[in-house]
Structure 1
């Protein structure tokens, strides 16, 4: 078994999430395109999408437009997408799904592709994973991983896998710290990405987090993202508003104290 190639999360510690939120579904069309332009202009280099978000084409268009300006190169971006395991799909059909995502994103490869959700049929997970390993061999994908898997489901996958998942993406924020899953992932050399790092927006008014933010002249949202980055977890916050997009990446010139990290880690 070998490790999947993955550019270090230290280079891409924060990404723009493009899934749905409490106010609606994933951004589409012009809205999605503008959010990508705003994010890249603000310093983001990691973009997270999925086949089920139905915005790969819009994201591909935005990335193409940005690259055409010559400000950044494709290799400076880290693009993640995901596919759902389909129990009726053959190996060839899964590979076609990979190729369709690449076509939608208007790129020659995807940096990271995840199995979006685990199938209850573990054999289906194995079948899809084997197809993704083939996609890596064909250089269609640089890295492969899983999303919403627990430790037992990953253990099952590893029994037949040739490549260790490079990334595990799960919900994580101060009220869902995923401490045990992070420990498990570290033992297996798997990086962890936190989606909903702001608790789907429910924690931005939490008084404890707000007070920590005040001590650094930062927002509660920025505190939660800094917490993830400081403990080695990639964060992919979602926003369509330029001021929040900029705010969410304002985490690199300051640090949380050990005590503040513990308060956030132990929050219920």
Structure 2
């Protein structure tokens, strides 16, 4: 396995460009899946309070024997816990479930604009950052409009925005906004939950490179500069997903994949989810 490159966030902290996600993995299975990922070479693990598997992640981290400073752990604040005091309380609970004294990245999971609490939530996250309890803070599923309000009214630019991003939903407006403001782009559902893996454009490019469709899509993300967190509980796929640093897509391949953008989401719309 080739070493995973690291992306430098806007506060100087570095994050592996490819990590391991545990969305929709129950707590019991999470421990084995994360243990397999760590053994395979992953060092970045992405979880969230609402996934219900922070405890399983913590078990795998504790038993791995890997020094804490070699790991990058991300978790996310759920919508019901937004607000200044509630955020601080929820963060303490997340650390307890993970069995850690700090995380590397803490994210607001959704903007939930109808609740209108994300500014107060962000100020609490700024305190967590200042207190050294998280090394970086960011957001998830924020649109450029949500981000602009955050930039206008608070003090710290998010280090990262984790958004649904794959060839059928390429999020060019968000990626351009992130680039202008020094915000890293991280893709959740980078494979569109498998929906694109039989697409003829992708399978043709994959065959040309002797790679799987999943590896081809992940390589597309890497070459765009995205951070990716593919999820699998299958050991062979966990290994396959990290083996994407020893080949390169051509400009023609990238152009063909750019043509697959249809604005199609697999998940909720950030403007309406509350």
Fold similarity call, TM over 0.5: yes
Asked whether the 8 Å contact 2:10–2:183 carries over to 1, the reply is no
Given candidates 84, 97, 108, the residue that maps to 1:91 is: 84
1:214 and 2:212 are equivalent in the alignment = no
Asked whether the 8 Å contact 2:187–2:229 carries over to 1, the reply is yes
Question: Which residue in 1 is equivalent to 2:227?
Answer: 234
Question: Which residue in 2 is equivalent to 1:23?
Answer: none
Question: Which residue in 2 is equivalent to 1:5?
Answer: 11
Any unmatched runs of 5+ in structure 2? 1-8, 262-274
Query: Which segments of structure 1 move beyond 6 Å, counting only runs of 4 or more?
Result: none
Going from structure 1 to structure 2, the CA distance change for 1:90 and 1:204 (only over 3 Å counts) comes to closer
State how far apart, in whole Å, the 1-side matches of 2:249 and 2:83 are: 48
Asked whether the 8 Å contact 1:85–1:124 carries over to 2, the reply is no
Q: Report the aligned-residue RMSD.
A: 1.5
User: What do the CA deviations read for 1:45-103 (whole angstroms, capped 9, x no partner)?
Assistant: 11000000010011001100002xxxx3111111110012447x652331121111111
> How far off is 1:155 after superposition?
0.6
Mapping of 1:110-121 within 5 angstroms?
A: 110-121=103-114
> How far off is 1:266 after superposition?
1.8
Mapping of 1:111-260 within 5 angstroms?
A: 111-121=104-114, 123-260=116-253
Q: Bigger CA drift: 128-137 or 153-162? A: 153-162
Q: Secondary structure at the match of 1:63?
A: helix
Question: Which residue in 1 is equivalent to 2:270?
Answer: none
Q: Bigger CA drift: 175-184 or 114-123? A: 114-123
Question: Which residue in 1 is equivalent to 2:74?
Answer: 80
Asked whether the 8 Å contact 1:86–1:124 carries over to 2, the reply is no
Given candidates 39, 48, 51, the residue that maps to 2:49 is: 51
> How far off is 1:6 after superposition?
5.1
> How far off is 1:220 after superposition?
0.3
Question: Which residue in 1 is equivalent to 2:22?
Answer: 18
Aligned length: 253
> How far off is 1:110 after superposition?
0.5
State how far apart, in whole Å, the 1-side matches of 2:177 and 2:30 are: 35
Asked whether the 8 Å contact 2:206–2:213 carries over to 1, the reply is yes
Question: Which residue in 1 is equivalent to 2:94?
Answer: 101
Any unmatched runs of 5+ in structure 1? 21-25
Asked whether the 8 Å contact 2:83–2:117 carries over to 1, the reply is no
Going from structure 1 to structure 2, the CA distance change for 1:32 and 1:252 (only over 3 Å counts) comes to same
Asked whether the 8 Å contact 2:58–2:98 carries over to 1, the reply is yes
State how far apart, in whole Å, the 2-side matches of 1:81 and 1:97 are: 11
User: What do the CA deviations read for 1:4-42 (whole angstroms, capped 9, x no partner)?
Assistant: 635334xx011111112xxxxx3221x110001110111
State how far apart, in whole Å, the 2-side matches of 1:106 and 1:171 are: 28
